[in-house]
């Protein structure tokens, strides 16, 4: 049973550039959440996708956008990169919450983004 996979593993970009990160959810999961984890900090929620639509969003600027495909895989796009965007970007998959009950989220290994 394949878990959550992410690509690429590492990425180096310069300020002002754009980046696209990719995620394939765990088999059977149709909901994908993205988190940003700065060094020495806990993950911070960016947004969640379900049925190809953004369902929830955290406190991140519009430079952060995403997409979910019919096969449930997802992309995270970040435009106009800043030095402060350097972090580990984590994807988590789950089943959608039902009757208000949150399902367990399983994380991928992450993509480490360095902005120079």
Partner 1 sequence: QKEVEQDPGPLSVPEGAIVSLNCTYSNSAFQYFMWYRQYSRKGPELLMYTYSSGNKEDGRFTAQVDKSSKYISLFIRDSQPSDSATYLCAMGRDNTDKLIFGTGTRLQVFP
List of residues contacting partner 1 (CB under 8 A): 4, 6, 31, 33, 35, 40-45, 48, 55-56, 58, 90, 94, 96-97, 100-110, 112
Nearer to partner 1, 22 or 58 (CB): 58
- Contact yes or no for 78/46 (Cβ under 8 A): no
**CA distance between the termini of the chain:** 37
- Taking the complex as a whole, how short is the minimal distance between the CB of residue 109 and partner 1, in angstroms? 5
Nearer to partner 1, 28 or 100 (CB): 100
Of 42, 43, 53, 34, nearest to 94 (Cα)? 34
Tell whether the torsion through CA atoms of 81, 114, 69 and 28 is positive or negative: negative
Nearer to partner 1, 47 or 78 (CB): 47
């Amino acid at each position: 049973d394949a878990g959550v996979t992410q690509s690429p593993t590492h990425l180096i970009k310069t300020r002002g550039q754009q980046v696209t990160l990719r995620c394939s959810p765990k088999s059977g999961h149709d909901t994908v959440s993205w988190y940003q984890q700065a060094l020495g900090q806990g993950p911070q929620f960016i947004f969640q996708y379900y049925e190809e639509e953004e369902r929830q969003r955290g406190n991140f600027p519009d430079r952060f956008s995403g997409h979910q495909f019919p096969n449930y895989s997802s992309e995270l796009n970040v435009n106009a990169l800043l030095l402060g965007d350097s972090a580990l970007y984590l994807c988590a998959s789950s089943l959608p919450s039902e009757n208000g009950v949150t399902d367990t989220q399983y994380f991928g290994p992450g993509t480490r983004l360095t902005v120079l």
